[in-house]
């Protein structure tokens, strides 16, 4: 298992388009990937599910943790953290 913590910095958090981009990138990896608020008692949800992500209401400045388990876990988490830190801007 590999996990990292970060903050959502883009203005809309993980709503609509960013959630779709996040889930699409997560789906490109074989590992099981979850995302959760970094708060006690927060539920980790499937990062490959747009609906699960949207239901969490992740907004700007939300502290989150991305966790993956599987053959490409480190690459998956690092790619998702990079997507968030670049505010969903493709380079």
Active site amino acids: 15
Instruction: Give the separation between CA 67 and CA 65, rounded to whole angstroms.
Output: 6
Instruction: Give the separation between CA 60 and CA 24, rounded to whole angstroms.
Output: 20
Closest C-alpha among 64, 68, 65, 46 to residue 55: 46
Instruction: Give the separation between CA 77 and CA 91, rounded to whole angstroms.
Output: 18
| Backbone torsions φ then ψ of 54, nearest 5 degrees | -60, -35
């Amino acid at each position: 298992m590999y996990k990292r913590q970060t903050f959502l910095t883009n203005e809309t958090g993980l709503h609509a388009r960013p959630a779709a981009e996040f889930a699409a990138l997560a789906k490109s990896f074989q590992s099981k990937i979850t995302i959760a608020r970094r708060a006690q008692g927060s539920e980790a949800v499937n990062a490959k599910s747009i609906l699960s992500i949207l239901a969490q209401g992740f907004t700007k400045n939300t502290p989150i943790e991305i966790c993956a388990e599987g053959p490409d876990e480190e690459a998956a988490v690092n790619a998702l953290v990079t997507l968030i830190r670049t505010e969903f801007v493709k380079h």
